[in-house]
Amino acid sequence: MVYENLLRDKRAIRELIRRIESLKITRDVNIMEVCGTHTYTFFRFGLRKIMPSFVNLISGPGCPVCITEDIFIDKAILLAQEKKNVIATFGDLVRVKGTRSSLEQERAKGAHILVVYSPYEALDYARTHPEKRVIFLGVGFETTAPVIASVVKKAKEKKLKNFFLLTSHRLIPPAMQTLCEDKDIKIDGFICPGHVSAIIGQRPYESIVKRYRKGCVICGFEPFDMVLGIYLLLLQIKNNRPKMENEYKRVVNPRGNPLAEKLLREVFKVVDAPWRGFGIVRKSGLALHERYQDLDAHQLIRRNIHFERRKSEGCLCAEVVKGKIGPSQCPQFRKICTPQDPLGPCMISFEGTCRIYYEYGE
């Protein structure tokens, strides 16, 4: 509570804004906030309104539901159509459409979809329902992957034969590298995700600074954190000295969380993986390690089934997650696409850029 009061102090935030103005930067600066929770903070607390107009904040790919490809949903649906299977998932994913249908639509047709708040709930369900096959949909970044890894490990230890993982875990730094290499997107620096950084520490961003000369500041999620992070980045840009800085020292250890990383290395292996809008990103996904293959839900999918990638009609989420356009540049925004009747995942998830712009943008 004490922290909250300090980190939302209006006078302190206004003083930071004054310092940003006093930098007298005369060109537009593009800063990407990688994480959807930062987008939320920026809009929810009205920071956009008080930020000088030369600071252009671009929302990035840090919403796990938004970057999950249609094909993953198609695979989950295929599994859901088998009577014996129960699909356990976090709530947001249920509404996301695959190429033809969504898990919500399949549930209406009788599929067993279990919305859980923790993967341990899914594990418990598997333990108490041995006649069912429980398939947990593992979606998320470095933040959630250690919890999923611990559940997988527990299922193995307990010798559960009816618990499986369909994984679509992704790693943030490789996506940031892809963004740096994309000539259509001009980013001057990154606000790096605090939760992800609590696991991976500072080192992965240091190579981005060195290789691409982009400043990186790890930030907390309170308004003061964010404005301070933007100020630090602007100072770097003004002095043409990109570097790695950690504004979120109260949570992020520079070396990350070695225990969580050890667990990730034990359960998963790093693979090339598809992202919505990005295509295949090298070494950006987590697949189950060979020693946990018996828990991989992919083995339950018939080998001869071909999943086809299709361009989503009318929805520009693929452009939004890369920061190529903002939600208001999508012709469907607010007119046809709303949180009540969303066309794409960016309007579904609470971390989705379109959803946040819709709720707090104006």
The first and second tokens of residue 241, run together, are 């000295």
Q: Is 330 in the site for ligand SF4 (CB under 6 A)?
A: yes
The first and second tokens of residue 221, run together, are 């999620």
For the chain, how far is it from start to end, CA to CA, in angstroms? Answer: 29
CB of 48 to ligand SF4, least distance (A): 18
Q: Which of residues 338-357 bind ligand SF4 (CB under 6 A)?
A: 342-344, 346-347, 354
CB of 162 to ligand SF4, least distance (A): 36
CB of 108 to ligand SF4, least distance (A): 22
Q: Could you write out the DSSP letters of every residue in 299-356?
A: GGS-TT------PPSS--HHHHTTTSS-GGGSTTBTTTB-SSS-SSGGGTSTT-HHHH
Indicate the residue among 95 and 153 with the shorter CB distance to ligand SF4: 95
Indicate the residue among 91 and 258 with the shorter CB distance to ligand SF4: 91
Say which residue the tokens 């970057």 belong to: 67
Give, in order, the Cα–Cα distances in Å from 72 to each of 133, 147, 169, 268, 297.
Answer: 18, 20, 11, 18, 12
Indicate the residue among 99 and 332 with the shorter CB distance to ligand SF4: 332
Q: Choose the stretch contacting ligand SF4; rule: CB under 6 A; options: 7-15, 152-160, 195-203, 330-338.
A: 330-338
Separation of alpha carbons 86 and 278, rounded Å: 30
CB of 44 to ligand SF4, least distance (A): 18
**Do 94 and 120 meet the contact criterion of CB atoms below 8 Å apart?**
no
Of 146, 154, 98, 97, the closest CA to residue 121 belongs to 154
Q: Is 332 in the site for ligand SF4 (CB under 6 A)?
A: yes
Amino acid found at 138: G
Among 337, 349, 351, 356, binds ligand SF4 (CB under 6 A): 337
Phi, psi of 86 (to 5 degrees): -120, 125
CB of 36 to ligand SF4, least distance (A): 13
**Ramachandran region, residue 314 (left: φ > 0; alpha: ψ -120 to 50; beta: rest):** left
Of 174, 353, 209, the closest CA to residue 279 belongs to 174
Per-residue binding letters, 114-133, with ligand SF4 (x by CB under 6 A): --------------------
Per-residue binding letters, 296-315, with ligand SF4 (x by CB under 6 A): -------------------x
Helix (H, G, I), strand (E, B) or coil at 193: coil
Separation of alpha carbons 218 and 142, rounded Å: 15
Indicate the residue among 87 and 316 with the shorter CB distance to ligand SF4: 316
CB of 314 to ligand SF4, least distance (A): 6
Q: Is 86 in the site for ligand SF4 (CB under 6 A)?
A: no
Among 123, 232, 320, 321, binds ligand SF4 (CB under 6 A): 320
Indicate the residue among 227 and 354 with the shorter CB distance to ligand SF4: 354
Give the sheet arrangement for strand 113-115, strand by strand: 113-115, 85-89, 133-140, 163-170, 279-288, 268-275
Q: Is 93 in the site for ligand SF4 (CB under 6 A)?
A: no
CB of 312 to ligand SF4, least distance (A): 7
CB of 358 to ligand SF4, least distance (A): 8
CB of 230 to ligand SF4, least distance (A): 25
Indicate the residue among 101 and 312 with the shorter CB distance to ligand SF4: 312
Separation of alpha carbons 59 and 111, rounded Å: 35
**Do 172 and 196 meet the contact criterion of CB atoms below 8 Å apart?**
yes
Q: Contact positions toward ligand SF4, by CB under 6 A?
A: 315-317, 320, 327, 330, 332-333, 337, 342-344, 346-347, 354
